[in-house]
Amino acid sequence: QPVSRKPFFLIMDAYPLVLSLPRADTARNTLGIRHTAYVVEVDDCGRIYTRHRRYTNFLWLHRELRRRELACTLPELPPKKAMGSMEQDFVDRRRQLLEGYVRALLRLPAVVLDDALWAFLDADLATAIVPRFLCRPPSHTDAFDCLTQLAKIVAQEANTFRFCSKSVLSNLVAFAQSEAAEAAIQAPLQAQAALQARLGSRVRLCSIIQSLIAHERARQGLVEVGMFGALLALLWRTTEDAEATPTEAHRTACVGVKNCLKLLLEGSQGMALLDFCQQDDGLSALQRLAGAEASSLHQVAASLLWHGFQNSGVVMALAGAKTGLPLLGKLLKSPDLPARVLANLCVGCLVRQDGALDADAKEHCLEALLPLPAELEKAETAALQRTAVATLDRSMAALTRTNSQDLTDTSVVGSDGTVNALAQERDPALVALLQSLCCPKEIPRLQALLGDIDTQGVDAITFTVVALLDHFVRQTIAETARSGDLNPLVPQLQRLVDLHPEGGQVLDMDSSPDVGAHEFSTTFADVRIRAACVLIKLDWPSDGKLGARDAPAFEVFGQRLRILQSVAQHAEALQLRTAGQLAAAAEHRRQQDLQIKIGGLIEAPHVDAARLQEFYSHLASFAERRKCLSQELKQSRQSIDVLGANMDQRGVKRSIITADLDDLRRVVNDQSADETITEEAKAAVARCEEEYRDALANVESQLAQCRASEVTARDAASRARDAEDRAAALSREEAERAEICHSVPAKLEQLRSHLEEFERRKAVLMHETGQVNLETDHEERRHAAVTEADQEAQAALQTLATVHTKLLEFQQTLTSELILTDDEVDRLRKLDVELQPARPSRLRHPLDADTIATCQDENMNIGINADGDGPVWNDIPAELEFRNTPNFRTFSKLRNERATLWSAEHHWLQEAMSRAKTAASRLELRQNNLSQEERLMRDEEEKLRRDLAFWNEPEAHTARHNDARLSAMAARAASCEEAANAVEAAGAQKLSQALLEQVQTKARSIESALSALRETADGKSEQSLRDRRELEKQCVDLEGRARTYLEGWLAIELDERRVSLFREQACEQLRAEEDGRAKLRLEAQRLIDDLQELNRQLDVTARPDRGCDGEWIGDASIAVG
């Protein structure tokens, strides 16, 4: 039935391809700007690699997928954030959202089939191919493309780990089952591509499975997911398709599926068949193959059982099933001989397996094996018969061709030719099966079937195996290398030759009612003879251990003699049988010779077939000559008529060509005057272009001068502005220096007052910093004390939990919780000792106002009491109750009371630690602010001292003021000079600009004249071009017709010669016909004389005498020979 595919997201959840974003790193680009790089971890079936991607990369992927308009709804991408994108909380939240985004993409088939996601991951082809196969579209063409890519990557051993996943193997099984559910036979023309894709998909699937079978883990996975059953169903469907449409593609698919089944069985040591047989319908599927109309499936079923029987579990499963033996019974009755051979071997495996069958079933199975040796002999006899027929046909054909040898000479064929002819006539399927059964890999199984000859004796299984070996060595007589593969069987075969009938169990064939129907007797002597024939063809013994001068042991010669004796006895029996047949054939031939002689049947007729054939040839030759004469005369008349018609047509064509040539000559004469005018216009345009180029050169020269003057004027104006600015700056500096000289005393007084104020602020800051440091130290000691107290509380709680566990164990041993023995009371007191300390340290060491600053415990109390008095600790009533009445209940009450108090103490200490952390953070912030303020004050102090040093030099200020006044006067003089130079450069620029405008006006006038001349010349040139193109077209046409006309003369000359030849041949035929009439008349007269002589001969031989006792030897007696 058709198999429905699972949803893709379920398949991908099972496939071990995982995308995750485990962390986000902070990096800098080439410009030093920080950004966040998310680490994308790709777990491809256990092989992990990472990629670093920014948010912009994810944004590109999302936009690219939206641009391609895929047939799916894309998940939402986390939005962008302009500010705060580097905060850790935001980065972690975005990383989780991006991880969910890429995992959601991996569950969409349209995204997996697209290239954008794999380009984003920078994944190789093998990583993307398997998911694409899992989400392949339902069309056959797409499936073929996916399987083709899959076959390429599975061929590489490095990619095999991706196919070990159960989801991938299950998908391959589902594909095989879907192919098995639908036929692939002849289709309409429009569906041929889909049909070829389906057949190609089956072939690709087989190649993929064969590659996977070569690997242990993948092969085990194929067995577990049920690939054997899927291939079996696909084989059934493919064979039916091949029977309906016997094409090469169907046959290739069948062979591929068969090879997959064989390799899977061999690689799994039969476990695949064992798992399949244990299913409910496993044996039913094999029975379906065994009962199929296509006999090729019978051999497949038998081959699967044979390869599966290498696993003893399969043998026992088939023997224990109700349908196991009927399945083999169907195969034993198959019309296909190779299938019956394999079925016989499977039955032998059942009989040889201990505990598989009972005695009655074994006897029944042994009887079922009896016909196989006779069937093999029938197949060999049929091949010999076909070889004899083919050889006789070739001999008779050679006799007919040569007519110079006797039949006995031409019917003799060499030994090599006979062997080759026989090999061609044998069943190739049977030959291939025997070669596969006798290969080194299968020899141990044949040894097991032969078994221990001394204990088991000779039974039908032994005779079947020996018969197979005998036929194998017959068919591979020229393949000594293959024959040497049987050397491991030599000891068992030698034992068969040495064994006497009384030395072991002999096969009793007389009990079978069908023995008389066999052509050859299956007695013990036949088994010995066949074993001896196998050994003699193997050149046994040849162990390869003897040196060049060594000799084998004496016992070996006795073994050789026994082999030769058996073979000699067999040869003698064959010789006697052949001699009897030869004597009967000789007697039959003698009687035929006598009858032929009496009837005169060997005399040749007076008029034989050769004589009649000779006269017929003369008559046919005469008729042929007359027919040729008639045809040649008819062809000669037709050629003359055709030649005349061609000459008339050629005269008309020549007249037309002459008239067209005169018209073309007149057009060329008229066109020459127009060409002269066009050339004059072109010359005028060339002269005007030369003038225009000179004008443009003048414009460029003047433009360069104008630009140079403009640059000079601009530089002069720039220098004038710079000089003016410098003069102004120096004048301002002069004024500033003068102002400084007048304000020095006031400035110094102001700076000294600022410095005094700064010193006062600095002292206040230092005092405040000291107070903060003291508070910080106090908070640190307080935090340490609270931390130590909390550790004490945690240790006490852990001790209470341990005591509680021991107390529960102790309770299980008590008989009464109120009345305890002394030992039990002592045990409770020990547990009470384990509960120490009973109170926290803040209560064990009360505060003393005189020793607060010296004791560590008191420091702890200072830190603790700073947060309040703490929880009230009152366990004294419970403790007194236990001391007064020590029993289980009072101790449990004391432990529970302390557990409650310690829990409250722990909670209170946690709150105290939280408050201490808050205060420490506040003090740290205050310290940072004070440190920053201190740095600012240091900078301000340094600036004040520099300013005070600067203003405390009056003579230096006066000298600097004088220097500034002199520099300002020199700068004003230079500014006046640069201004004059700028005015002069501006005048030169205006003059150069006026000259440029004059030159440009002249160039524009020349350009206008040139445009008019060009327009006129272009019009004339275009007209001339059109005229020349028309002339070219006419000339080409006229030249083509003239060329055709000239080429036609060759045909006319050929026709003339052909007419002449026809005339000469007709004359020769007339003369030959006259000679033929005379010869035919002479031959007819000779034939009349011969026929009259034949008539007289028939009158003599028409009265035969009766001979051979009045019997006629005919075809019925020939069959005796």
For the segment 974-997, what is each residue's pLDDT rounded down to a tens digit?
A: 888 888 888 888 888 888 888 888
Q: How confident is the model at residue 266 (pLDDT cuts 50, 70, 90)?
A: confident
pLDDT at 513: 41
Q: Is the pLDDT of residue 346 over 70?
A: yes
pLDDT at 99: 92
The alpha carbon torsion through 575, 578, 580, 584 (nearest 10 deg) reads -160
pLDDT digits 0-9 by tens, 211-231:
888 888 888 888 888 888 888
- CA dist 213 and 958 (Å) reads 105
- Residue 181 phi, psi (nearest 5): -90, -10
Pairwise pLDDT comparison (274 vs 418), residue with the higher score: 274
- CA dist 657 and 296 (Å) reads 79
Question: Which amino acid is it at 373?
Answer: P
- Residue 755 phi, psi (nearest 5): -70, -40
Q: How confident is the model at residue 98 (pLDDT cuts 50, 70, 90)?
A: very high
Q: Is the pLDDT of residue 60 over 90?
A: yes
Q: How confident is the model at residue 538 (pLDDT cuts 50, 70, 90)?
A: confident
Q: Is 98 helix (H, G, I), strand (E, B) or coil?
A: helix
Q: Which pair of structure tokens corresponds to residue 390?
A: 């083919």
- Segment 314-328 mean pLDDT: 80
Of 170-184, 336-350, 537-551, 1104-1118, which gets the smallest average pLDDT?
A: 1104-1118
Question: Which amino acid is it at 742?
Answer: H
CB–CB of 300/261 below 8 Å? yes
pLDDT digits 0-9 by tens, 419-468:
565 666 778 888 888 888 888 888 888 888 888 877 777 888 888 888 88
Question: Which amino acid is it at 614?
Answer: E
pLDDT at 1100: 47
Of 30-34, 293-297, 721-725, which gets the smallest average pLDDT?
A: 30-34
The alpha carbon torsion through 392, 398, 404, 410 (nearest 10 deg) reads -40
pLDDT digits 0-9 by tens, 370-393:
888 888 888 888 877 777 777 766
Question: Which amino acid is it at 1054?
Answer: L
Q: Is the pLDDT of residue 516 over 60?
A: no
- Segment 564-584 mean pLDDT: 71
pLDDT at 858: 43
pTM of the model: 0.52
Mean pLDDT (the chain, rounded)? 76
pLDDT at 502: 46
Q: Which of 723, 718, 703 is nearest to 985 (CA)?
A: 718
- Segment 837-852 mean pLDDT: 63
Beta bridge partners of residue 576, listed in sequence order:
none
The HSE-up count of residue 919 (CA atoms within 13 Å, CB side) is 19
Q: Is the pLDDT of residue 834 over 90?
A: no
Q: Which residues contact 61 (CB under 8 A, 6 or more apart)?
A: 116, 117, 120
Of 546-550, 580-584, 952-956, which gets the smallest average pLDDT?
A: 546-550
- CA dist 528 and 538 (Å) reads 15
- Segment 857-872 mean pLDDT: 53
Q: Which pair of structure tokens corresponds to residue 1050?
A: 């060759």
Pairwise pLDDT comparison (60 vs 692), residue with the higher score: 60
Q: How confident is the model at residue 2 (pLDDT cuts 50, 70, 90)?
A: very low
pLDDT at 407: 41
Percentages helix, strand, coil for the chain, rounded to the nearest 5? Answer: 80, 5, 20
Quickly tell me which residue has 């104020």 as its tokens.
Answer: 757
CB–CB of 913/783 below 8 Å? yes
Pairwise pLDDT comparison (441 vs 953), residue with the higher score: 441
- Segment 1076-1097 mean pLDDT: 75
CB–CB of 505/458 below 8 Å? yes
- CA dist 299 and 462 (Å) reads 22
pLDDT over 70, % of the chain: 75
- Segment 731-754 mean pLDDT: 78
Q: Is the pLDDT of residue 1065 over 80?
A: no
Q: Is 107 helix (H, G, I), strand (E, B) or coil?
A: coil
pLDDT at 410: 40
Q: Is the pLDDT of residue 331 over 80?
A: yes
pLDDT at 183: 67
CB–CB of 611/1051 below 8 Å? no
- CA dist 369 and 514 (Å) reads 12
Q: Which residues contact 872 (CB under 8 A, 6 or more apart)?
A: none
Highest mean pLDDT among 240-254, 550-564, 1063-1077: 240-254
pLDDT at 859: 43
Highest mean pLDDT among 596-600, 929-933, 1090-1094, 1101-1105: 929-933
Q: How confident is the model at residue 512 (pLDDT cuts 50, 70, 90)?
A: very low
pLDDT at 1010: 85
Q: What is the DSSP letter of 291?
A: T
CB atoms within 10 A of CB 414: 8
pLDDT at 592: 60
